């Protein structure tokens, strides 16, 4: 009853209730405590040094269909944006906590782990059975290796992996809270491609979802139905042998019923990291709605910057949507962009037409333009915070 609540206790708001429910129902990843200990030590070290620290989230989150997971839903993200951004943040003097999808791209090693850039192709056999970099690659490799070693040796880089959507959210909440002592020097750069839908634990199968009813006829199964008895062993054998004969139809189709994942940006902004600067990404495929959706997200969650990008052009351009500022497009130079900027910018504040872009990857990494711009906004954010504190 409402009467029994003491008057000084504010009623829990919907965001808190959604948070309690989600985190209570979805178990944390098994390494969470270990990750928290590593993150705490890293954050405290840089906080004591008065350094800026960025949490970069990167890669896709899986949506398991079974508790003992055999099958899961995934998304396209390779972690290029996050891994590349992390390198430029290190270059800009930030300590980087890199929360990434396990086996997605990592800063520095990304140059040699791509499917088209197998690291073995950069090596050759040297004298006395040694392994050395090929002469034509050694210079660049040395530069990458030096940057990597410098980041590690100076304790400027910590990487922590996640797999599923609930792993990600548990890790994000814990790390964001640990970052509070950094105050405005903490930056959260949320580039991971986070699932919007999931199977809630109460509807998730414990074991591998079966593709036939054959298991219903197993002797140990007390729920055996008479109809599933008929010829089911035979059917299972047929399926296992990949026989697609229409005479033996598959007995089951799979309908997956997903719930929306609660958006926790509000909780992040107001509760987990009330002083840090928060940058989220907005990914769309339809150019006509990108800026609108980015602005909507900013208005709704009241954070500090949304970086909008389109799937097809994300390596060529992004748009910065920030409170009180006009939208700002950041582009790597293309022949088309040069032409457009010289023609007084007609249509320049519109997304590029993907068909107008050259084949292949841009020569310049767009993160090399994004990170200095984010860094400038972060400087202004810290200055405004300090000015408010002095006033």
Name the site residues for ligand PMT (rule: CB under 6 A): 77-81, 190-194, 196, 261, 263-265, 280-283, 309, 314
Which is nearer to ligand PMT, 105 or 214 (by Cβ)? 105
Residue 50, phi-psi category: left (phi > 0), alpha (psi -120 to 50), beta (remainder): left
Q: In the complex, what is the shortest distance from the CB of residue 198 to ligand PMT, in angstroms, rounded to a whole number? A: 9
Eight-class DSSP state of 115: T
The minimum distance between CB 71 and ligand PMT, in angstroms, equals: 21
Q: How far is the CB of 55 from ligand PMT (least distance, A)?
A: 11
CB of 156 to ligand PMT, least distance (A): 22
Closer CB to ligand PMT, residue 228 or residue 375? 375
- Closest C-alpha to 188, from 101, 103, 97: 97
3-state SS record for 231-294: CHHHHHHHHHCCCCCCCCCCCCCCCCCCEECCCCHHHHHHHHCCCCEEEEEEEECCCCCHHHHH
Rounded to whole angstroms, the Cα distance separating 30 from 74 reads 20
Compare residues 214 and 265 and give the one whose CB is closer to ligand PMT. Answer: 265
Q: Please identify, using beta-carbon distances, which residue of 42 and 168 lies nearer to ligand PMT.
A: 168
Let me know how long the chain is.
391
Encode 335-372: b = buried (16+ Cβ within 10 Å), e = exposed: eebeebeeeeeeeeeebbeeeebeeeeeeebbbebbbe
Residue among 163 and 265 whose Cβ is closer to ligand PMT:
265
Instruction: Tell me the C-alpha distance between 232 and 215, whole Å.
Output: 8
**Angle formed by the axes of helices 367-390 and 80-91, to 10°?**
60
- For residues 18 and 382, which CB has a smaller minimum distance to ligand PMT in the complex? 18
- Min dist CB 367 to ligand PMT, Å, is 9
Q: Are 37 and 44 in contact (CB under 8 A)?
A: no
Query: On the CB side of 195, how many CA atoms lie within 13 Å of its CA?
Result: 25
Closest separation in Å from C-beta 134 to ligand PMT: 28
Nearest CB to ligand PMT, comparing residues 170 and 232: 170
Q: How far is the CB of 83 from ligand PMT (least distance, A)?
A: 8
């Amino acid at each position: 009853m409402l009467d029994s609540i003491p008057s000084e206790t504010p009623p829990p708001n919907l965001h808190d209730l959604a948070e309690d429910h989600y985190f209570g129902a979805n178990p944390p990843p098994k390494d969470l405590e270990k990750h928290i200990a590593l993150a705490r030590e890293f954050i405290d070290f840089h906080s004591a040094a008065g350094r800026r620290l960025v949490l970069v989230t990167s890669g896709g989150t899986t949506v398991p269909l079974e508790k003992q997971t055999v099958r899961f839903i995934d998304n396209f993200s390779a972690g290029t944006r996050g891994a590349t951004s992390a390198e430029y943040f290190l270059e800009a003097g930030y300590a980087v906590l890199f929360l990434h999808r396990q086996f997605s791209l990592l800063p520095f090693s990304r140059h040699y782990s791509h499917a088209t850039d197998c690291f073995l192709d950069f090596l050759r056999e040297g004298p006395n059975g040694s392994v050395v970099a090929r002469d034509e690659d050694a210079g660049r490799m040395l530069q990458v290796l030096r940057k990597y070693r410098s980041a590690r040796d100076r304790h400027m880089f910590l990487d922590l992996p996640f797999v599923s959507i609930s792993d990600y959210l548990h890790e994000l909440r814990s790390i964001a809270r640990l970052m509070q002592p950094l105050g405005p020097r903490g930056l959260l750069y949320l580039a991971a491609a986070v699932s919007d839908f999931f199977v809630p634990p109460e509807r998730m199968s414990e074991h591998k979802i079966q593709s036939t009813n054959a298991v219903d006829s197993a002797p140990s199964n007390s729920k055996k139905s008479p109809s599933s008895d008929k010829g089911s062993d035979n059917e299972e054998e047929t399926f296992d042998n990949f026989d697609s004969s229409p005479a033996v139809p598959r007995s089951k189709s799979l309908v997956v019923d997903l719930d929306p994942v609660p958006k926790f940006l509000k909780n992040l902004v107001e509760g987990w990291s009330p002083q840090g600067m928060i940058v989220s990404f907005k990914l769309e495929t339809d150019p006509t709605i990108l800026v609108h959706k980015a602005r909507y997200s900013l208005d709704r969650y009241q954070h500090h910057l949304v970086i909008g990008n389109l799937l097809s052009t994300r390596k060529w351009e992004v748009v910065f949507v920030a409170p009180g500022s006009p939208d700002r497009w950041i582009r790597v130079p293309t022949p088309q962009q040069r032409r457009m900027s010289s023609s007084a910018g007609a249509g320049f504040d519109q997304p590029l037409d993907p068909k107008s872009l050259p084949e292949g990857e841009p020569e310049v990494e767009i993160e090399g333009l994004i990170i200095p711009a984010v860094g400038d906004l972060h400087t202004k954010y810290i200055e405004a915070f300090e000015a408010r504190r002095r006033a």
